[in-house]
Structures are given as C-alpha cells and as structure tokens.
C-alpha cells in the first residue's frame, strides 16, 4: 500500500493546497489500534488540527509482536468535519471490531465523538486474497472521485454501493505506479 500512498500524496494531494486529507500509513493505523492510550501517540502521528478526512487501512492482526501479521485488510475513512467513520470491508463484517476500536481510539485522540458506520454495500471480493487491492482501489476512488471533486459546502455520498472493483485491473494499476517510481529512481541516480 505505501507506493499507492506516495503516488496519491505526491500526484494529487500535494497539488491541492486546500486539501486537508491525511493518508495514514498501515503501520500507524496498527500502532493506533494496539496502543492502550491513544493520547500517548500524539507526537508520533500527524497533527490533525486542520485535517478534514483521514484514510486508515485496518488489519485484523491482534498480535503486536508479529510483523506482517493478520490476514485481512479493510478501509476506514474518517470525516472529521462530519464526525463520522465510514468502514469499507470487502469481506464484511470481518474487520468490523478492529474498525470500531480504531474509531473509538481516534475519537479520543481527536477529542471528538465519532459515529461509526459500517457500509454493508461495499464491493465484496470473490476470493480470500484481494482485500489489499480492494483497499487501494477504494481509497483511490473515494479520494479522487468523491472528496477531491467536491466543494467545501457540498455533502458527498461516501457509499461505494454499485461500484464494481476489478481486482486484476487494480493490480495492473499498482504495478504501473511501482514501475513509474522505479524508473524515476533510475533517472535520479543517473
């Protein structure tokens, strides 16, 4: 997921100066869910004082000592301005408990009550291996097709109902992004 984060931040969020959207890395989301008192993370996490939305990948790993643990990913999109956390799970309701816990801890960190909404109309994967692709495709869609196209006064439907996700095409897109970064790195080194 990190190459997609870098791509979205560099190619889209950095171009929108008024954008106050944070893409929290998977490791930071995991740290948030594993830490008993989220207030102790205030210095490790971004400053959310001007943030409108936070994207958090959610993993079902419960063992803080196991790097690369867990078997499923889902996406939590928190609208701070609306006080709502939207949960997109491609194997619904697999990560619901983890998403609820993350929502509560983020609410404590923000000093704001957040309403949790599990979205049962999220596109569902057809196998047990596409969850990461679904998170990436949903994040890109919600960011580029919903949030970045809306004006500040406009309410935006955050539903993914009716949206079909082609996991194969999602993988190809991610490979293209990674290949673009690889080529950029080669150009910089030469």
Selected catalytic residue, list 53, 72, 87, 136: 72
Distance CA 188, CA 75 (A): 33
Q: Which of 53, 87, 89, 130 is catalytic?
A: 89
Distance in angstroms (rounded) separating the CA atoms of residues 171 and 177: 10
Which of the residues 60, 87, 130, 131 is marked catalytic? 131
Q: Assign 103 to helix, strand or coil.
A: helix
Three-state SS across 26-87? HHHHHHHHHCCCHHHHCCCCCCCCCCCEEEEEEECCCCCCCCCCCCCEEEEEEECCCCEEEE
- Does residue 61 have an active-site annotation? no
Does the annotation mark 89 as catalytic?
yes
Query: Rounded to an integer, what distance in angstroms lies between the CA atom of residue 178 and that of residue 165?
Result: 20
**H-helix or E-strand containing 188?**
helix 167-189
* Residues with catalytic roles: 72, 89, 131
């Amino acid at each position: 997921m990190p190459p997609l984060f870098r791509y979205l931040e560099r190619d889209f969020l950095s171009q929108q100066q008024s954008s106050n959207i944070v893409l929290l890395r998977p490791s930071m989301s995991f740290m948030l869910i594993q830490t008993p008192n989220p207030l102790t993370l205030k210095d490790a996490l971004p400053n959310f004082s001007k943030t409108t939305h936070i994207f958090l990948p959610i993993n079902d790993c419960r063992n803080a000592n196991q790097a690369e643990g867990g078997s499923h990913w889902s996406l939590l999109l928190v609208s701070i301005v609306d006080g709502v956390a939207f949960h997109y799970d491609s194997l619904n309701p697999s990560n619901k408990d983890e998403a609820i816990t993350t929502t509560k801890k983020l609410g404590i960190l923000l000093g704001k009550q957040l309403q949790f909404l599990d979205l049962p109309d999220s596109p569902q994967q057809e196998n047990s291996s596409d969850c990461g692709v679904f998170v990436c495709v949903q994040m890109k869609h919600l960011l580029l097709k919903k949030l970045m196209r809306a004006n500040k006064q406009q309410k935006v439907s955050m539903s993914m109902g009716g949206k079909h996700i082609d996991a194969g095409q999602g993988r190809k897109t991610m490979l293209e992004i990674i290949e673009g970064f690889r080529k950029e790195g080669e150009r910089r080194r030469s």
